[in-house]
A = this chain, B = another copy of it.
Amino acid sequence: MATTIKDIARRTGVSHSTVSRALRNDPLISVATTRRIQQVAREMAYLPSAAARSLKTNRSLVLGVIVSSIDDPFFSEIVFGIESCAQEAGYSLFIAASQHDPSRVEKIIQTMMEQRTDGVIICSSSLNSNQNRQLLEYGFPIVVVNHQAAENFHYSIYHDDVDGSRQVTRHLVELGHTRIAYLGNSLSGRTTLDRLTGYQAEMMEHHLQILEGYIHHVPGSNPALGVDGAMHFLALPKPPTAIVCFNDMLAIGVLQGCQQAGIQVPQQMSITGFDNITFSAYTNPPLTTLDQPKRSIGAEAARLLLTLLNSNQENPSFQPQQITLKGNLLVRQSTAQLTNREKK
């Protein structure tokens, strides 16, 4: 059994309320007793019970984080950003992975409510409208990250996917490519649509045609599906000479798929990723991609949520806020000019 303030009170011969005040450095208590009590508390290895405290203060100092999968390096980095910021402010993280399983999401939301989490950050696109409603009705502050239904929420951090996708596509156009395809992830909702939009806008601006079959979606974003995507494009009557991929995971698969089919990258095929996960620098050839500032995104999300929590006391109706961050094109070796032989 852990020591409590009552134990300390007994030991020092004061009431438990005096101990409570002394530990919080309340000026009501004399310096002498405060010091004595804190000394004893240290000796007895006292640690306050978070449960009791949050019961009384109605603040748990815990933030809930919902991600779709922990072992996706993209989310890992966002979580990293969140954690750094939260830990600085004295908040801890309650992390749960939905694994794209609706029943699991249900449980997670319930748990977070039961834990009376001070706020929630959602980095998962797999919440349905009913779950959204439930969360909003409960009334705790929510910040969403790259979420498809962000208009339902008041506070969100966005990466400018349209802009990013335009940057990537423009890079390929400037290299001289005209037959450029897009490989999306049909499960990622709004995100893939934004990236598709950016691709389309840039193609249109340069009066480039998008041939039949050049826009293709696979149900997820692991490398194996990327291989499938590569097969699809290579089987077209007029295969593209460059493929804009939804993210790095897919791009890695496409890269492998092409190489298995004997297509040389980047000489015969240019491939771009999106996100700049750690491993994109270590593929062969290293991947040209869009460096999404993942840690900043996570940190911004946490910062926004913390601001929300602090302002909620004085200023009950904080105005909606939407922060957009832009990424940077990162040119590596998976893209190149067309060789003459391939231009035909």
Contact = CB atoms under 8 A, between A and B. Distances in A.
Nearest to A284: B284
A253 B115 CA distance: 43
A138 to B, nearest CB: 7
A60 B51 contact: yes
A95 B67 CA distance: 13
A104 B87 contact: yes
A116 B70 contact: no
Contact of A94 (B55, B94, B107, B279): B94
A70 B60 contact: no
Contacts of A52: 51, 55
Given A47-B114, A92-B111, A114-B50, A253 B278 contact: no
Interface stretch (A75-83, A120-128, A210-218): A75-83
A150 interface: no
Interface residues of A, number: 50
Interface string A266-307: 000000000000110111100000000000000000000000
Given A2-B138, A96-B92, A282-B252, A71 B60 contact: no
B115 A50 contact: yes
Interface in A101-157: 104, 107, 110-111, 113-116, 137-138
Interface string A55-83: 10000100000000111010011011001
A83 B97 contact: yes
A173 interface: no
Contacts of A255: 282, 284
Given A70-B79, A70-B83, 5 more contacts: A50-B115, A93-B95, A223-B278, A279-B279, A282-B283
Interface of A: 2, 45, 47-52, 54-55, 60, 69-71, 73, 76-77, 79-80, 83, 87, 92-97, 104, 107, 110-111, 113-116, 137-138, 222-223, 252-253, 255-256, 259, 278-279, 281-284
Pick the 4 closest A-B CB pairs, nearest first.
Answer: A284-B284, A71-B76, A51-B55, A51-B51
